Homo-oligomer: A and B are copies of this chain.
Amino acid sequence: MEILRTITEVREYVVGQRARGARIGLVPTMGYFHAGHLELMRRAGGAGYTVVVSIFVNPTQFGPGEDYERYPRDLARDAQMAQTAGADVLFVPEAAEMYPSGYGTYVQVEGVSEGLCGAARPGHFRGVATVVCKLFNIVQPEAAFFGQKDYQQVMVIKRMAADLNLPVAITVVPTVREADGLAMSSRNTYLSPEERRQALALYQALRLGERLIKSGERRAAAVETALREGLQKPGVRLDYAEVRRAGDLARVEVIEDDAVLLVAAWVGQTRLIDNLVVGV
């Protein structure tokens, strides 16, 4: 498995692959892989794509005071894991390769970028949309693979790809969880053992909300109250707990279509997110 550092190298690799009849599947990541990332790679490989995995801790999606500097990085470990999961090539650019001096273009997705994580992290989804747009143009994949854990991110990217006519099929892969239900996240590495136990509150709150809907509750406000109560645990500080329409993240008062329950909370110094889609 090759590790490529420059846009030129990746383009040459892709052109070569395509000349041999390959279709390209892109897995955009910020590295520090866990089982969720590996599942994305396996899904891409399993669907017959040549698997290009990008590792780029994207500065434009971090706000001031966020964890850009301390975000975990370990390329040697990532390379070994990716190879095992069937990645064909890693694209690992420096920040200056993606954002050279004089850089000034940003992709803004209105609507789905607002509220939820967009409220807590202004500019975050602008950075996400921008870097994914660039990666799509650099790699020109037939398909790209994202984890459902970042639900709003997936909606932003789908909206962007459709709006900007980027001919890339977006595949969303279900969230991979620890045995006790905690959603896999590179940020889980920040948690102390006690925080790791407290962090389970997110998934437990989601399951509580799910049970409520399954038992017939259709008032979004009632479900949101239950989510918030489920997050009122020692060491856990609520950011948001919302019920939205799964298809487009529209706010709902009465749940009539498939819903997505979305929560974000601080556990110590670590902000975690999770979600659950509930069919009705």
Contact = CB atoms under 8 A, between A and B. Distances in A.
Given A107-B107, A108-B108, A133 B164 contact: yes
A110 B110 CA distance: 18
* Identical chains in the assembly: 2
A138 interface: yes
Nearest to A109: B105
A167 B138 CA distance: 8
**Which of A7, A165, A248 neighbours the largest number of chain B CB atoms within 10 Å of its CB?**
A165
Given A134-B164, A165-B138, A167-B137, A159 B129 contact: no
A166 B140 CA distance: 10
Interface in A57-112: 102-112
A164 B108 contact: no
A160 interface: yes
A248 B103 CA distance: 12
A103 to B, nearest CB: 6
A252 to B, nearest CB: 17
A49 to B, nearest CB: 20
Contacts of A137: 164-167
Interface string A128-165: 01100110011000000000000000000001100111
**Which of A103, A105, A167, A248 neighbours the largest number of chain B CB atoms within 10 Å of its CB?**
A105
A107 B110 CA distance: 11
A104 B130 CA distance: 14
Contacts of A7: 165
Interface of A: 7, 11, 102-112, 129-130, 133-134, 137-138, 159-160, 163-167, 248
13 contacts: A102-B111, A102-B248, A103-B163, A104-B112, A104-B159, A105-B110, A105-B160, A106-B108, A106-B110, A107-B164, A108-B108, A134-B163, A138-B165
